[in-house]
Amino acid sequence: MIFSKILWSALAAVASFTTVASLPSSPVYVGHALAAALGTTPCPVACTPLTDYRVALPYNMFPNGEHCCEMVQVTYHGISTDVRFTDLFMGAVNSQNISLSYEAFELLAPLEGGAIFPVYWQFVSS
């Protein structure tokens, strides 16, 4: 009985430590997501492996391609998908708008709409 109590509190301590350690640390941005918008340019580094599930992020937030090739979690109406940051969105200056590849956009909403809002996005470890 005493042993199981000690074991239980040890497990609880491990569980709460795990919870603290896994708190998301990167900020969450919100903007419109467009489907393969015009005005994107590839990151200064080529991201490998190549993937169809890509996102272009606002150029002014990453003027030197910071964070290029990292994974970004994009969420719309409770649906999340992880995409790779491969392009800079020149047309999104001074917004948190993003441009998704058609393949990625289609996982969140039908292509016909062309743009969706609000879309939450944040860097996640790949």
Ligand X SMILES: *[C@@H]1O[C@H](CO)[C@@H](O)[C@H](O)[C@H]1NC(C)=O
With respect to ligand X, which residue has the nearer C-beta, 44 or 118? Answer: 118
In angstroms, give the least distance from the CB of 119 to ligand X.
10
- Could you say which residues in the range 79-98 bind ligand X, by CB under 6 A? 92, 94-95, 97
Under rule CB under 6 A, which residues in 23-42 are in contact with ligand X? Answer: 32, 34
Min dist. Cβ of residue 37 to ligand X (A) = 8
Of the candidates 80, 20, 19, 31, the residue with the CA atom closest to the CA atom of residue 57: 31
Q: Taking Cα atoms as reference points, which of 41, 37, 29 lies closest to residue 99?
A: 37
Minimum Å distance from CB 69 to ligand X?
A: 24
How far lies 55's CA from each of 42, 43, 84, 89, 94, in Å? 10, 11, 6, 9, 17
- Asked if residue 26 lies in contact with residue 57, where contact means CB atoms within 8 angstroms, the answer is no
Cβ nearer to ligand X, comparing 94 with 126:
94
Radius of gyration of the chain (CA): 19
Window 104-123: residues binding ligand X (CB under 6 A): 115
Residue number, nearest CB to ligand X:
95
The whole-angstrom separation of Cα 75 and Cα 10 is 35
The footprint of ligand X (CB under 6 A) covers: 32, 34, 92, 94-95, 97, 115
